[in-house]
Amino acid sequence: MPVLKYTVQLYYRPIIKDAFESEIPPPVQIASGVLIQNSRKFFLVTCKHVFDNIKTDDVIILTSIGFAVRLPDTVKFVNDVNDSIDLALIEIKGARVKELKSVYSFLPYKHLGFNHVFDE
């Protein structure tokens, strides 16, 4: 199963109000993530440190020249008491899902493996 169709590049592109398009700097690549589907819900999984100093809705996924999906402003961070889990889970809904599906696929949850042993 090729991973490429489920993997997206994340770009920093802040919302700048009252600016001409020519004044807005180009998107800057900051991370990658994986698109996952669980039943009728769609998610982006990436690292939580990506959002240490930026807002979630300042991040976009490019879908074609001139078109992008801006992430919603809600993110769930997964962590433990040792701060050793670097995981962010972002639910994608509605028009964002439709636009992403025009270019990418969402990996069905059943293809994820959770039965491995992790020892720090």
**Which structural domains are found in the chain, ordered by start?**
4-107 (2.40.10.10)
On the question of pLDDT at 99 being above 80, the answer is yes
Banded model confidence at residue 115, pLDDT cuts 50, 70, 90: low
Q: Is the pLDDT of residue 120 over 60?
A: no
Identify the pLDDT of residue 119.
63
Gap between the Cα atoms of 91 and 73, Å rounded:
10
Q: Which residue has the higher pLDDT, 3 or 25?
A: 25
Mean pLDDT (whole number) for 79-107? 90
**φ/ψ of residue 114, rounded to 5:** -115, 10
- H/E run at residue 29: strand 28-38
d(CA 2, CA 104): 12
Q: Specify the 3-state DSSP secondary structure of 114.
A: coil
